[in-house]
Structure 1
Amino acid sequence: MEWISGVAGALALVVVLSSILRTLVVPRGLHSALVFRLWWVLRRTLRLTAPRGGYAAIDRAQTWLAPLMLIGMLATWLCGALLGFGLLLYALSPLSWTTAFREAGSSLFTLGFASGSRLRLSALDFVAAATGPVLIALQIAYLPTLYAAYNRRELEVTLLQARAGEPAWGPEILARQWLVDTETALPELYRAWERLASDMGESHSTYPILLTFRSPRPHRSWLVGLIAVLDAAALQLALAPRHAPPEARLVLRAGFTALRDIARALRMPFDADPSPDAPIRLTFDEFDAAVAMLEAAGFRAERPSKEAWPHFQGWRVNYEAIAYELCRRCDAVPALWTGPRDFTGGAIPPARPVDRRPDRRRPELPPKEK
């Protein structure tokens, strides 16, 4: 029994140490099964609090996912360390189960108990006493990095609201620029989101817990915003290639590269080299309705819808599958062109501002996705 206890305790400590290093220390998107299992359990538990609600109820419940993840990770690691040291103390001494775990807890949380002249147990107590404060210190140092990345992300998402609506939608970005004659500002938007996409690809793959941090407003989402910008760039390249800025190609590449980096950190399967003519889930009818809306807003297409569709499809196939799966896992706001969710309710179109200019008529939105 002592051998089994010792091996089990050592394995528990190895699992906990590996999870801590992968999550908090190593600057690379390494997968921690312990953290991702906790994410799955907490997400499912919070979903139970809104079993029949639509997106509003789901969003209210999932708002608590990020803080619960931070507390849950710390509690899981401390409990795992307590279990490991308790099993090792029991294996290396004649102590009873109760006494072994009591001594492990007093050492781990630095309450002041000692093991007397028992040299082997004193050394183990010292290791346990160092583990608790170091773990808590790492968790505290982890928070500024998370919130700095969160603030950078949400600043651009907030700025996107005036250009893309809320929730964001790719065709809406182009329609609004042509409605108010600000289409020359699109290159700057693409450059900002190219940099943000690279930032998110690095930060969200290194610290996947950022995926659980929701935007301050229910209808905003970094993921939906990224999809909207990528769709806008793909639409512009497909419909008007001669007048599309080179930044459109750059933001597309940065966007789907970032999504793939995040997918690798989550161990999501994806096609790294999809065929340009591979099918996508967005239908031609949805695309054609969006093109009609753009033309009503004053956008001048160089290609008709049928001719532009294969080009748009060739761009979107690089990111659609990953984006849809991430939106489903993150319970993102169900915006247009972002795929299905695990809860009831259809896609939410962007809120339309009132256009008081007499020389422009506001184009109609395409039908809602089912």
Structure 2
Amino acid sequence: MVEIDESHTSLPVLAFFRSPQAGRSWVTAAGLVLDTANLLFSALDVPRSRQVELTFTAGCLAVNRVQRFFDKKAETQPTELRTPEEVAAANPGREAFAKVWQELRDGGLPVRPDEEAAWQHYQALRMRYAPSIEFLSQLLLAPAMGSLH
């Protein structure tokens, strides 16, 4: 993730570089990695892995810095070309979280005892990166991330 921060703010045109494989985007991949780390932190009742913490922190910094570059320095205006369904899928709701939390529990993983507190924690952590992912997804026409599971 650190490389994204350095490369995409030093040479901003890289942000627009598309994968040769349809349906892939660095923005979507970054969002998925951050959502996964967030889910581990919020839903599971286990000690945090230092590597996952570093990945989450570096990822948040990277997407926020790239977003700020395009929003503040380049003063770009993203456009919304996605369907309402795609927009909704990119923002997991309470029901989607509850389903994943239950699947983790049913799978024998140690989930936090208070599902509502886990959901609130997930939402709080998501605010560290989701606005930037949303901005960059619109700007770069990145494919939708889909739901939590």
TM-aligned CA deviation for residue 311 of structure 1? 1.3
Distance 2:45 2:119 in 1: 13
Tell me if the contact between 2:44 and 2:109 (Cα under 8 Å) persists in the aligned partners: no
Aligned residues of 1:240 and 1:301 also touching (Cα < 8 A): yes
1:297 is displaced (CA, Å) by 4.0
- Is it true that 1:285 corresponds to 2:95 in the alignment? yes
2:18 to 214, 217, 234: 214
| TM-score, length of structure 2 as denominator length | 0.77
Match of 1:300 in 2: 110
Partner of 2:43: 239
Displacement, 1:241?
4.4
Q: Return the alpha-carbon distance in structure 1 between the equivalents of residues 46 and 123 of structure 2.
A: 18
Tell me the equivalent position of 1:84. none
Alignment partners' CA distance in 2, 1:335 and 1:267: 22
Q: Distance in 1 between the 2:71 and 2:130 partners?
A: 17
246 and 293 in structure 1: CA distance in 2 versus 1, 3 angstrom threshold: same
What whole-Å deviation, never above 9, does each CA across 1:163-185 have from its counterpart, x for those lacking one? xxxxxxxxxxxxxxxxxxxxxxx
1-side partners of 2:26 and 2:107: how far apart?
26
Q: Where do 5+ consecutive residues of structure 1 fail to align?
A: 1-196, 270-280, 338-348, 350-364, 366-370
Q: Please report the RMSD computed on the Cα atoms of aligned residues, expressed in angstroms.
A: 2.2
Contact 1:234 1:248 in 2 (8 A): no
Corresponding residue of 2:71 = 267
Alignment counterpart, residue 251 of structure 1, candidates 42, 47, 55: 55
- Percent identity between matched residues is 25
Unaligned 5+ runs, structure 2: 76-90
* CA distance in structure 2 between the partners assigned to 1:240 and 1:288 by the alignment: 13
- Residues 297 and 208 (structure 1), Cα distance of their counterparts in 2 relative to 1, 3 Å cut: farther
Q: Does 1:228 align with 2:38?
A: no
Judged with a 3 Å threshold, the aligned counterparts in structure 2 of structure 1 residues 282 and 301 are, in CA distance, closer, same or farther, namely same
Equivalent pairs counted in the alignment come to 132
| Residues 293 and 330 of structure 1: CA distance in aligned 2, closer, same or farther (over 3 Å) | farther
**What does residue 106 of structure 1 align with?**
none
Q: Secondary structure at the match of 1:258?
A: helix
Q: Where do 1:1-370 residues align within 5 Å?
A: 197-268=1-72, 281-337=91-147
Greater Cα radius of gyration, structure 1 or 2: 1
2: CA distance, partners of 1:303 / 1:324: 31
Deviations 1:271-329 (A, max 9, x none): xxxxxxxxxx5321121122223334443313342120111112111010110111111
Deviations 1:128-164 (A, max 9, x none): xxxxxxxxxxxxxxxxxxxxxxxxxxxxxxxxxxxxx
